[in-house]
Amino acid sequence: MKAVLETPNKKTNKLEIIDVHSPIVALEDVLIRVKSIGINRPDILQKKGKYARPPGSSPILGLEVSGVIEEIGENVHFLNVGDKVCGLAPGGGYAEKVVVPAAHCIKMPVNLTFPQAACLPEVFVTAWANLIELGKLKTGSSVLIHGGSSGVGMAAIQLAKWKGSFVYTTVRNKKKAEFCKKIGADKAILYPEINFHDFIMDQTYGHGVDVILDMVGGDYTNLNLKCLTIGGTLVQIAFIKGFRNEVNFIPLLLKRLTITGSTIRARSFSDKHRIIQLLKKYIWPEIERGRIKPYIFKEFSFKQINEAHELMESSIHCGKLVINLD
């Protein structure tokens, strides 16, 4: 089969599509004939050697796919050959075929295409685990979501509105602000022009927000702590601006704050399955009713993988980037 390994060609510094052996299906797995692939920032980091894949996982890039099941393991009884599914892969998604634990697959929402379904697994699992569970977001609460126009931001804004929260988000420009408002954000803060701490404290009459979902890190950390209300929670999911910074922890004590965070890939098999089942129960019906939607910025062919990564690294997109296989 054709696939993209994690290491670029040393001469060209470009990813290449090469021939590799098809993966073997274990007892609890399914083999998916891939139709579409969701592009995620961890793919970029892994390509650059900044995001180590778990031991034993595929050297092929790719964490979320949609497609048709071609083969099932002997212990799989709730999925069948021919089912249209999307899945959270431990790696191996940038390929014509990928093996995914059956427990990490869900049948595609009936109203979605393969490209749309490929936008769901990684970002909605990430948003649910960190915003809904670790952030303990409640009806009537307020949340600040940094990077609202990203894939995770797209999912987080919609989950927060589904939960009945008031949503602030930071964005780079007016185009991104319009996108975030379109998908449910109540207030979009243009961070190059406006200090988000000053904006939040003004809008909340000095109280701050209940939850912050941050993928930026760096000098945002101190501002985040100052933006939280008493008993608030900072949930960290990435460190785009770096994970080292001098932090003033006095607000942690004075306001009884919680700092937490997680990465999905490092979670256990059973924990991922648990979250996927919750999405299937609560969010899939909302998607099928059209109340929650995946938003695709641009689609690419498999041979355009490098163009897709270049666009991801530019951060000019709003929503998801998708690779489609013939």
CA distances to 102, 128, 168, 224 from 187, in Å: 39, 21, 5, 17
pLDDT band at residue 242 under the 50/70/90 scheme: confident
Burial per residue of 125-154, b for 16 or more beta-carbon CB atoms within 10 angstroms, e otherwise: bbbbbbbbebbebeeebbbbbbbbbbbbbb
Helix (H, G, I), strand (E, B) or coil at 111: coil
CB 146 within 8 A of CB 169: yes
CB 264 within 8 A of CB 129: yes
pLDDT tens track for 144-162: 999 999 999 999 999 999 9
Task: Kindly give, in sequence order, each residue whose CB lies less than 8 Å from that of residue 316, ignoring residues fewer than 6 positions away.
Answer: none
pTM of the model: 0.96
What would the CATH number be for the domain defined by 2-120+265-324? 3.90.180.10
- Distance CA(8)–CA(236), nearest Å, equals 29
Return the pLDDT at 14.
95
Return the pLDDT at 243.
85
29, two tokens: 């797995």
Return the pLDDT at 48.
92
* Ranges in the chain annotated CATH 3.90.180.10: 2-120+265-324
7, two tokens: 């290491």
Residue 300 has pLDDT above 90, yes or no: yes
pLDDT tens track for 177-222: 999 999 999 999 999 899 999 999 999 999 999 999 999 999 999 9
First to last CA, the chain: 13
Helix (H, G, I), strand (E, B) or coil at 313: helix
* Ranges in the chain annotated CATH 3.40.50.720: 124-261
pLDDT tens track for 85-120: 999 999 999 999 999 999 999 999 999 999 999 999
pLDDT band at residue 52 under the 50/70/90 scheme: confident
Residue 57 has pLDDT above 90, yes or no: no
pLDDT band at residue 40 under the 50/70/90 scheme: very high
Return the pLDDT at 318.
97
Helix (H, G, I), strand (E, B) or coil at 139: coil
- Distance CA(56)–CA(62), nearest Å, equals 15
**Topology at the third CATH level for domain 124-261:** Rossmann fold (3.40.50)
Helix (H, G, I), strand (E, B) or coil at 314: helix
CA distances to 74, 188, 201, 244 from 191, in Å: 52, 9, 15, 21
What is the pLDDT averaged over residues 26-34? 98
Residue 245 has pLDDT above 90, yes or no: no
